[in-house]
């Protein structure tokens, strides 16, 4: 990072100069060349980030830890714009289309399994102030962004200059403590598409199981949050017990689905934002992968 | 379709009028209102079609037969623009990243399985003149598009008017005869991303198996096409025999992978544009789903 620290003031100087003159430059100049180059980088980043998103959402990328720095702004735009809601809506519509084809039996054994985080509940308010996995853990002012090659470097930039320079950002490591504080608040809103599907499935007579990677000690806060955000009437809420600690999500969730199957349940559908919600053994007849370009859980 | 036939001349009249005046209208007028409404529909279509693509590429949509009419233009733009190539590139890069982590053994049993159509070879030249699954089976002039509520209706429209009216289009049913004629030509180009991955895997020492839904009688044409487009040195080309007819692609391909496993091969990776290339049993350690919003094979 040494050379990065030396270069950064020079680059920042250049960016500020370019920014100040951006509106008035008509003639060919070094500034204009710089702007054109920046624009080209941005355009190519957009194309690359669409492709990166394709690869993570299809699980082609396998396990990943960080949003590529050039895609941080892309993820922010995706999550806070129309696309995240629209993608979730269409996934839920396909889920409901399938559910309506199921001949729900009178034996109350027709089941649907939902994950919780980024499936029933949206933690977007948390990730918004934790930089969608890309900012330092200090909170972000709405009009200015902190920027630096290290988290303890405190330059601030106007929003539009930030947009030129987002490739300097790096991902935030997931902080379990601050996330657990957020869970305890029990204020995560429902993902609207999932709340709608959930209620439709109840109407159709499905028994609904909630299978989450959250731990047993978070049961009260989780129930409180689910009720607060509009969910009710689930058959069972399954959380990690001390016996499940250390297992991958795929193994833990497969084992729990297997227990349901052994109890005679037919798992018709499963909804989750992670492939580890959907793959493994005792899988549902149909799986519904919700979008999540913010993080990956194995 | 009766009311559609009555309405269509009226709508076409309106579209032509709107088109003729589109450049000169400044004042608020019925035409402008129409243009604004068209624009809104187009914008929303773009958002919907991105979400539709998400759902088919993640297999959330399950089996599907037709591109939604409102997404036909979207698929055309996707397949002929930068995104298809970029998405394929990034998938192949993740494939190669994984392949490099494999400790290729000296026993020549480290295997990679490739599908052929829309994986090694691109049939885009065929689908381009068969409307990306949306036009009638008569061929399309490069500057004019045929349009109508039935395939035997022969209006033609300038390209930009077509773009306003693409919601009238319907998908073409897959025509096996014309596709087989195309296979016999043996002129499909390589998908560049796959050719690159293929050659890198050979260099790394993987044994490459080609597993295709094409039939045994197409062996000669398929080999000729693969060599023509730059592929060589595969271990085995596996096509459907008469014993495999009637099986789903998932079952047929799983059975063939199972035979490889029984012969001692370790299938590290599998590349395909269909989920039926990748799922079932005897699956690869890592699967690489290439994009294909044109058609679905169960």
List pLDDT tens digits, range B189-246: 999 999 999 999 999 999 999 999 999 999 999 999 999 999 999 999 999 999 999 9
CB-closest option in B48, B89, B95 to A86? B48
Q: What is the dihedral of CA B88, B94, B96, B100, to 10 degrees?
A: 180
Average pLDDT, integer, range A201-219: 98
Per the prediction, chain B carries an average pLDDT of 80
Parse chain A into domains and list their residue ranges.
2-64+135-169, 77-124+178-289
Which residue on chain B is closest to A92 by alpha carbon?
B60
CATH 2.40.50.100 fits B83-123+189-289, yes or no: no
pLDDT at B278: 98
| Chain A residue with minimum CA distance to B93 | A61
Partner-chain contact A59 B86, CB within 8 Å: no
pLDDT digits (tens, 9 = 90+) for A279-293: 999 999 999 999 999
pLDDT at A166: 44
Closest approach of B58 to chain A, Cα-based (Å):
5
In this prediction, residue B130 has a pLDDT band, given cuts at 50, 70 and 90, of: confident
Contact A58 B289 (CB under 8 A): yes
Q: Is the pLDDT of residue A190 over 90?
A: yes
Inter-chain residue contact A60 with B89, CB threshold 8 Å: no
Interface of B with A (CB under 8 A): 47-48, 50-52, 54-55, 57-62, 82-83, 86-87, 89-91, 94-95, 98, 286-289, 291
Does the interface ipTM go beyond 0.85? no
Asked whether the predicted pLDDT for residue B263 surpasses 80, the reply is: yes
Percent of chain B with pLDDT over 90: 65
- Measure A204 CA to nearest chain B CA, in Å: 20
User: What's the distance, Cα to Cα, between the start and end of chain B in Å?
Assistant: 30
Q: B102: which chain A residues are within 8 Å (Cβ-Cβ)?
A: none
For residues B270 and B244, is the Cβ–Cβ distance under 8 A?
Answer: no
**Residue A5 scores a pLDDT above 80:** no
Residues A149/A4, Cβ–Cβ less than 8 Å: yes
- Per-residue pLDDT for B38 more than 50? no
Please give the pLDDT value at position B151. 36
Inter-chain contact A47–B91, Cβ cutoff 8 Å?
no
Q: Tell me what pLDDT residue A132 has.
A: 74
Beta bridge mates, A289: A272
Q: Which chain B residue has its CA at the smallest distance from A289's CA?
A: B60
Contacts of A58 in chain B (CB under 8 A): 57-58, 91, 289
- Tell me whether residues B289 and A52 touch, CB distance under 8 A: no
Cβ <8 Å between A62 and B286? yes
Q: Determine, for residues B90 and A57 on separate chains, whether the beta-carbon distance falls below 8 Å.
A: no
Q: How many CB pairs under 8 A join A and B?
A: 82
Handedness of CA A180, A182, A188, A191 (dihedral sign): negative
**For residues B215 and B240, what is the distance between their CA atoms, to the nearest angstrom?**
5
Average pLDDT value for residue range A234-255 = 97
Q: What is the pLDDT of residues A65-109, one digit of tens each?
A: 888 888 988 999 999 999 999 999 999 999 999 999 999 998 999
Examine the pLDDT at B181 and tell me if it is beyond 60: yes
Instruction: State residue B133's pLDDT score.
Output: 60
- Taking the alpha carbons at both ends of chain A, their separation in whole angstroms is 30
A13-37 per-position pLDDT tens digit: 443 333 333 332 223 334 444 444 4
pLDDT, position A43 = 58
Q: Which two tokens stand for residue A146?
A: 């902190």
Q: Which helix (H) or strand (E) holds A53?
A: helix A30-57
E strands present in chain B: 110-114, 144-147, 155-158, 207-215, 236-240, 266-272, 286-289
pLDDT number for residue B34: 43
Better-scored residue on pLDDT, A7 or A54: A54
Closest residue in B to A46 (Cα–Cα): B83
- Answer whether residue B19 shows pLDDT above 60: no
| Pairwise pLDDT comparison (B27 vs B130), residue with the higher score | B130
Task: Look at residue A183 in the predicted model and tell me its pLDDT.
Answer: 97
* Least confident interval from A116-125, A155-164, A247-256, B183-192: A155-164
Hey, what long-range contacts does B58-64 have (CB within 8 A, 24 or more apart)?
B58/A57, B58/A58, B58/A91, B58/A289, B59/A287, B59/A289, B59/B275, B60/A90, B60/A91, B60/A94, B60/A95, B60/A287, B60/A288, B60/A289, B61/A94, B62/A94, B62/A98, B62/A286, B63/B296, B63/B298, B64/B296
Bridge partners (DSSP) of residue A117 are: A121
Please state which CATH class domain A77-124+178-289 belongs to. Answer: alpha beta
Q: What is the pLDDT of residue A245?
A: 93
pLDDT of residue A175: 81
* In chain A, % of residues over pLDDT 70: 72
- Residue B255 · residue B238 · CB < 8 Å: no
């Amino acid at each position: 990072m040494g050379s990065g620290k030396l270069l950064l003031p020079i680059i920042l100087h250049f960016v500020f100069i370019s920014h100040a003159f951006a509106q008035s430059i008509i003639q060919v100049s070094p500034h204009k060349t710089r702007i054109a180059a920046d624009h080209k980088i941005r355009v190519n980043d957009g194309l690359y980030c669409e492709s990166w998103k394709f690869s993570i959402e299809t699980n082609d990328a396998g396990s990943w830890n960080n949003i590529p720095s050039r895609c941080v702004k892309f993820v922010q735009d995706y999550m806070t714009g129309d696309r995240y809601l629209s993608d979730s809506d269409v996934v839920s519509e396909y889920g409901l289309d399938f559910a309506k084809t199921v001949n729900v039996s009178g034996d109350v054994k027709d089941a649907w399994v939902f994950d919780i985080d980024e499936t029933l509940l949206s933690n977007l308010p948390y990730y918004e102030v934790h930089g969608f996995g890309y900012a330092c853990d200090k909170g972000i002012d709405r009009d200015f962004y902190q920027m630096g090659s290290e988290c303890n470097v405190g330059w601030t930039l106007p929003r539009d200059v930030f947009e030129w320079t987002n490739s300097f950002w790096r991902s935030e490591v997931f902080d379990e403590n601050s996330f657990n504080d957020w869970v305890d608040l029990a204020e995560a809103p429902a993902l609207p598409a999932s709340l709608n599907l959930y209620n439709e499935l109840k109407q159709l007579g499905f028994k609904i199981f909630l299978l989450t990677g959250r731990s047993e000690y978070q049961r009260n806060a989780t129930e409180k949050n689910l009720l607060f955000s509009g969910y009710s009437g689930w058959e069972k809420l399954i959380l990690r017990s001390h016996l499940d600690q250390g297992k991958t999500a795929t193994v833990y969730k497969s084992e729990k689905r297997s227990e349901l199957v052994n109890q005679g349940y037919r798992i018709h559908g499963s909804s989750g934002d992670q492939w580890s919600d959907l793959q493994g053994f005792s899988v549902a007849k149909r799986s519904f992968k919700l979008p999540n370009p913010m993080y990956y859980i194995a």
